[in-house]
Amino acid sequence: MSDWHKSSYSGGSNECVEARERQAGADVRDTQNRELGHLSFTRTEWSAFVETAQLNH
């Protein structure tokens, strides 16, 4: 599995989420509450999110 990382759009803020890509999709977690776990998304769901985020930025 790859490492957790924040978006380059996060700047210096600690109020964001981290993601880690994996072969089956991606996991996302809150940087301020890492111990609470993460949400997992399929490859299709993650691709749709990334495409939508890029279009709206």
User: Residues 11-54: pLDDT tens digits?
Assistant: 666 678 899 999 999 999 998 899 999 999 999 999 999 999 88
The model's pTM is 0.78
- Identify the helix (H) or strand (E) that includes residue 43: helix 43-55
Give me the amino acid identity at 35.
E
Q: Half-sphere exposure of residue 27, counting CA atoms within 13 Å on the CB side?
A: 14
Domain boundaries, the chain: 5-55
The better pLDDT of the pair 21, 8 is held by 21
Record the tokens describing residue 26, joined without a space.
């991606």
Phi, psi dihedral angles at 22 (to 5 degrees): -140, 170
